[in-house]
Structure 1
């Protein structure tokens, strides 16, 4: 397999990680593009991309660590969400969030995450513990769960409540979502894309966003339907079956960036 084909196979998931890390599709894609451009300009770096996801994410991590401020400045225009995300990026380089996202959402081992971030596995484990502690300290919000599988919905409810958040409603269809949001706007949405009556979680989320800007995390067994590049992709995308820590990490990132923009 050529380097190009090998990179292409992993690119949708690197873009997902970049979006989750930066809180913005355009900013995340700018980092991914900068990584690919750096590889084209450096034969040694290009050669290192052979061998799967770890070398590709490691190359991205080096670009992120060394140049994220420049990329954010270059993307200084955009939506309110993107500008808010860039403001956060100018203030911090969230190593603990990187470690948590890599080991949960992207499902790397601590050893692989250590290789990606240029650290020791023990340091990654410490960063993950710090990230979890940070999540526990975050302010609470109201959460709408859109999920047609009862057991998964209950699991998400328990997880959300364990993090200190409130459940403002659960829904298994688009119509039920409309009933919930008729009287309130959630502070966060966890949504499947395929609902009980054949309706679309994407359409249900569009109904919510028509009322105001709300962070959304998609949790689906069909991530390929959302990682096509043909339409704006969700910033936070969890694949079923999911790790609870992956959902915690996504909630942390969504609220971290969501708290910087008005609803």
Structure 2
């Protein structure tokens, strides 16, 4: 780690946690993967436009290497997307890397990475269909989210503008995926709503927030999937695919 700027590495940790959690579908497993990457030592990776990106790429490279070497018990044989494709989709959508940077993280030629990405995007709709609860207090944003979720092939079973409404809909509909904003204005807090829902119902959760670093501290109850506002439709499609096909949820702490 001595060859990598320490401040840049510290700044890269929230991004690494977000990637590792989305990849594994678990706060605990994802953070454990980041810890293993740090303990194993990090080597500089070319392609960083600045120190911050250099730190991120070094962490991504170590995480991808460890994940590729270890068997994944939740990766079903014959799945539409293999592990390399999942990693590339997450790196280019959730982490917003360029294709050449994602290729560096995985040790692939740019042409190989581009081919894998094209194939992966063609298979996005092959995942299981989810029954989605949207927790969002802004009506226009909620309708936009509904349209995006349905365009990805999923069913919206309810839209909640407050904590209490979210809990009530979840109890009645038993969604298989929850898509939650963090700040619900006068309606409360999205993280609190999810925590209440999870007391009686387990389902994958994707948080949508303009401040992802607040949910990536490695403490308390945290999500495996976080999308940063504003986001592209493909980012939501990839996050829902990864959440649904892995059948994951928030880890109790």
Residue matched to 1:99: 88
Residue matched to 1:117: 106
How many Å apart are 1:211 and its aligned residue?
A: 2.1
Matched, 1:35 2:37: yes
Residue matched to 1:206: 195
**1:95-174 maps to which residues of 2 (within 5 A)?**
95-174=84-163
Residue matched to 2:218: 229
Residue matched to 2:232: 243
Query: What is the CA–CA distance in structure 2 between the aligned matches of 1:32 and 1:174, rounded to whole Å?
Result: 32
Query: What is the CA–CA distance in structure 1 between the aligned matches of 2:221 and 2:200, rounded to whole Å?
Result: 19
Q: Mind listing any 5+ residue stretches in structure 2 that lack a counterpart?
A: none
Query: What is the CA–CA distance in structure 2 between the aligned matches of 1:139 and 1:220, rounded to whole Å?
Result: 25
* Local SS of the residue matching 1:148: coil
Q: TM-score, normalised by structure 2?
A: 0.85
Residue matched to 1:61: 64
Residue matched to 1:22: 24
Query: What is the CA–CA distance in structure 2 between the aligned matches of 1:58 and 1:5, rounded to whole Å?
Result: 18
How many Å apart are 1:25 and its aligned residue?
A: 2.0
How many Å apart are 1:9 and its aligned residue?
A: 0.7
- After TM superposition, the structure 1 stretch with the greater mean CA deviation from structure 2, 153-162 or 25-34, is 25-34
CA contact (8 A) 1:172 1:196 kept: no
Moved >4 Å (runs of 4+): 46-50, 89-93
Corresponding residue pairs, total: 239
Residue matched to 2:55: 52
Q: Mind listing any 5+ residue stretches in structure 1 that lack a counterpart?
A: 70-85
Q: Aligned pair in 2 of structure 1 residues 194, 60: CA closer, same or farther (>3 Å)?
A: same
Q: Aligned pair in 2 of structure 1 residues 117, 8: CA closer, same or farther (>3 Å)?
A: same
CA contact (8 A) 1:143 1:186 kept: yes
Matched, 1:88 2:88: no
How many Å apart are 1:259 and its aligned residue?
A: 7.5
